[in-house]
Structure 1
Amino acid sequence: MPATVTLLIEPLAADDLSSDLESTFREVDASAPALRVGELSTQRGDGIFETLAVVNGHAQEAEPHLQRLRNSAAICELPEPNLAQWHAAIERATAALPAEGEFAMKLVLSRGVEHGPAPTAWLSAAPAADFSAPREQGIRAVTLDRGLAHDAAATAPWLLLGAKTLSYATNMAALREAKRRGADDAIFVSSDGYVMEGPTSSVILRHGDEYSTPAPSGAILHGTTQLSLFEHLGELGHRTAYRDIPAAELASADAIWLVSSVRLAAGLTALDGSPVPFDAEETRAFNAYLLSPRD
């Protein structure tokens, strides 16, 4: 089987109950030209995306990712995606991948060609990077000012803060800045002093037996991996909380993790140059759960 899969998708209206979903997408060679010059996703980043993991032939958390795609579409005033169509495309792509291994699958919905009649959509899947080192040994992080108050989404909705958009230049710049400071990743802090999220991850802190993450106020992206892990922790009898977390609490945490769909759980070993307690055993348990089939 090929290690990469790319499907071009002809988006259906959300209420289209077409039974022939397979006819609405076609597989193309990943190296072949597929997008037009006027495509707004490449010209302006005017679109949304989701990245989910495929682990040993199972697409992880497909429904939560698609629900978040739909939420992003609403925020960005894009046509509502037809979730049945996207589920069918995910199943088709997953079946075309090798049955063993870890893969990253990206779903993209763009506004399309400027002045065009319809949005553009596609799905691509490729082998995931080797994340064994950050999962097993942890990562170093720095805090970076996001330049926005933690409640900015309510006062400035045009910033699209609750949507996962293709405009990721700031996120990538933050990762480069982290590396310039001798770290592997970053944690955004609001201008009024609250923990937000990582450039590509959610933040989880542990104080005693309570696990907390920043409240999904709309200024941060509600993480699918964090949601799944909190459900798992709840089933194990642990306390979980969504709350506004002052940045000062990072220094008092018993452990800190950055969690995401493909890298999974990476525990911090240092923050802004100061050591952070790294719980290797718990991190292994988190990743064992996150690598198990999850719907």
Structure 2
Amino acid sequence: MIEILDPTELPRAREAGALVADILQTLRSRCEVGTNLLDIDQWAQAMITEAGGKSCYVDYEPSFGRGPFGHYICTSVNDAVLHGLPHDYALADGDLLSLDLAVSHGGIVADSAVSFIVGDVRPPESVALIDATERALSAGIAAAGPGARIGDISHAIGSVLRAAGYSVNTEFGGHGVGSTMHQDPHVSNTGRPGRGYRLRPGLLLALEPWVMADTAALVTDADGWTLRSATGCRTAHSEHTIAITHDGAEILTVPKQPRP
């Protein structure tokens, strides 16, 4: 299903996006050496509930997971890149942490992810991974607009990732959002320009470039959810929800306040 929002629904989409962005920003500011992943999950639950939102993850039970997910946020550390199941782990100095959050608010879903390094140690490989996904995300957003095609976004994202020296996995990518978290169209992180669905005003897309340092192969953790790099290398993941408007693409998941 591809859902096109009515113009009167866009303000609610903005509110959902702002909520997700602000929760992620707050969680990021609280994450330090010694923070437990289960605490991050509890903080996310409290903020979602206080804002009157609904988690998209707690009851999430797709065919590829050992569901339901049962938690409020994905917490992926180091070699984990997607669907990181929160567990009893205390963050260490230099850990690369990816937080992925999807919330329904006012009947509309927003989805966003951020990767960052915990503590003072900044491994160059981790810095490069995060930078590549952030630049790829910016390129994908720049390629989006009314009349553009999904392939234009995929090509823009993939071009940045490949130029940075990374191979691209196509099993998981971006997607449409709306009244539910995962909708068509699928947005691969690499592709051919001029191909695929033509973008229309009112379409919401979650764009999410992610990479692994030296492989494109994933393995599923024993928890049945967490996806890790097959080689144990580090990974990164960046994501924004955008709205296609008559003027271009509006990023909905930008925090109100700049991060510290």
Q: Same fold (TM over 0.5)?
A: no
Choose between structure 1 and 2 for higher RCO, CA contacts under 8 A separated by at least 6 residues.
2
Q: TM-score, normalised by structure 1?
A: 0.26
Tell which structure's C-alpha radius of gyration is larger.
1
